[in-house]
Amino acid sequence: MRMTGTGIGQGVATGPVARMPEPLATPADVPSTLGVEAEKTRTLESLGRVARALEERGAKAGGTARDVLEAQAMMAEDPTLADSIDDLLGQGKTAERAVSEAFAAFRDQLAAMGGYLGERAADLDDVAQRVIADLLGVPAPGVPERDEPFVLVARDLAPADTALLDLDKVLALVTSDGGPTSHTAILAREKSIVAVVGVLDALSLTDGETVVVDAAVGAVVSEPTEEEVTAARTRIAERAALVDAPATPGALADGTAIPLLANLGSSKAAKAAADGGAEGVGLFRTEFLFLDAGGSAPTIDEQRAHYIELLEAFPGKKVVVRLLDAGADKPLEFLNDAHEENPALGLRGLRALRVSEDILREQLTALAEADKVTSADLWVMAPMVSTVEETTYFVTLAKELGLKTVGVMVEVPSIALLADKVMAEADFASIGTNDLTQYTLAADRLLGSVAAFQDPWHPAVLRLVGEVGAAGARAGKPVGICGEAAADPLLAVVLVGLGATTLSMSPSALADVRASLSRYTLDEARRFADIALAASGAAEARAAVTAAVASRKEN
End-to-end Cα, the chain, rounded Å: 34
Separation of alpha carbons 181 and 329, rounded Å: 10
* CA dist., res. 419 & res. 234, Å (int): 44
> Strand pairing partners for 31?
93
**Which is closer to ligand PEP, CB of 288 or CB of 307?**
288
- In 286-371 the beta strands, taken as DSSP E runs, fall at 318-322
Find out whether 555 is annotated in a ligand binding site.
no
CA distance readout (Å), 532 to 247, 413, 498, 554: 29, 18, 10, 20
123 annotated binding-site participant:
no
Closer residue to ligand PEP, CB minimum distance, 98 or 320:
320
Q: 17 vs 431, which CB is nearer to ligand PEP?
A: 431
434 is in an annotated binding site: yes
Q: Is 83 annotated as a binding residue?
A: no
Contacts of residue 444, defined as CB under 8 A and 6 or more positions apart, other chains included, come to 344, 438, 450
Binding footprint of ligand PEP on the chain (CB under 6 A): 283, 285, 325, 411, 432-435, 482-483
Residue 57 backbone phi and psi in degrees, to 5: -60, -40
231 CB-near residues (< 8 Å, 6+ apart): none
Distance CA 485, CA 470 (A): 19
Nearest distance from C-beta of residue 43 to Mg ion, angstroms:
41
Residue 329 near Mg ion by CB under 5 A:
no
DSSP reduced 3-state for 211 = strand
Q: What is the distance between the alpha carbons of residues 267 and 455, in angstroms, rounded to a whole number?
A: 29
**Which residue has its beta carbon closest to Mg ion?**
435
Phi-psi region of 198 (alpha: psi -120 to 50; beta: other; left: phi over 0): left
Q: How far is the CB of 177 from Mg ion (least distance, A)?
A: 23
Where does 443-533 have alpha helices with state H?
459-475, 489-497, 510-517, 522-533
CB closer to Mg ion out of 185 and 220: 185
- 3-state secondary structure (DSSP) of residue 513: helix
Burial class (CB in 10 A: 0-12, 13-18, 19+), 236: middle
User: In this structure, which amino acid lies at residue 442?
Assistant: A
Output the smallest distance, CB 283 to Mg ion, in A: 9
> Is residue 5 a contact point for Mg ion (CB under 5 A)?
no
At 194, phi and psi to the nearest 5? Answer: -60, 125
Q: How far apart are CA 93 and CA 132, in angstroms?
A: 14
Q: How far is the CB of 267 from Mg ion (least distance, A)?
A: 20
CB closer to Mg ion out of 20 and 486: 486
Among all residues, whose Cβ is closest to ligand PEP? 432
8 Å CB contact between 110 and 80: no
- x/- binding map, residues 358-397, to Mg ion, per CB under 5 A? ----------------------------------------
Is 205 or 482 the residue whose CB approaches ligand PEP more closely?
482
Would you say 334 and 296 are in contact if contact means Cβ atoms under 8 Å apart? yes
Window contacting Mg ion (CB under 5 A); options: 154-162, 232-240, 425-433, 488-496: 425-433
Residue 268 CA to residue 498 CA, distance in Å, equals 33
Which of Mg ion, ligand PEP, none binds 32 (CB below 5-8 Å, type-dependent)?
none
187 contacts which partner out of Mg ion, ligand PEP, none, CB within 5 to 8 A by kind? none
Active-site residue, from 183, 306, 339, 458:
183
Q: Residue 463: which of 423, 494, 434 has the closest Cα?
A: 494
Q: In the bound complex, what is the minimum distance in angstroms from residue 126's beta carbon to Mg ion? A: 28
What is the closest distance, in whole angstroms, from the C-beta atom of residue 415 to ligand PEP in the complex?
13
Length of the chain: 555
Q: Which does 399 bind (CB under 5 to 8 A by kind): Mg ion, ligand PEP, none?
A: none
In the residue annotation, 458 being an active-site residue is answered as no
178-184-189 Cα angle (round to 5): 120
- Of 212-220, 256-264, 411-419, 456-464, which segment contacts Mg ion by CB under 5 A? 411-419
Please identify, using beta-carbon distances, which residue of 428 and 520 lies nearer to ligand PEP: 428
Question: Which among ligand PEP, Mg ion, none contacts residue 280 (Cβ within 5 to 8 A by kind)?
Answer: none
Tell me whether residue 67 is annotated as binding: no
Residue 183: active-site member: yes
Phi first, then psi, for residue 227 (nearest 5°) are -65, -40
From the list 306, 339, 458, 482, the catalytic residue is 482
State in angstroms the smallest separation of the CB of 524 from ligand PEP: 26
* Least distance from Mg ion to the Cβ atom of residue 505, Å: 14
Q: What are the Cα distances from residue 311, in Å, to 78, 183, 303, 373?
A: 34, 26, 12, 9
> 174 or 410, CB closer to ligand PEP?
410
Residue 433 binds which of Mg ion, ligand PEP, none (CB < 5-8 A, kind-dependent): ligand PEP
435 binds Mg ion (CB under 5 A): yes
Confirm or reject binding of residue 432 to Mg ion (CB under 5 A). yes
Q: Choose the one of ligand PEP, Mg ion, none that binds residue 283, judging by a C-beta under 5 to 8 angstroms depending on kind.
A: ligand PEP
Which residues of the chain form contacts with Mg ion (CB under 5 A)? 411, 432, 435
- Residues at the annotated binding site? 285, 322, 411, 434-435, 445
Binding-site residues for Mg(2+), please? 411, 435
Binding residue positions for phosphoenolpyruvate: 285, 322, 434-435, 445
Catalytic residues: 183, 482
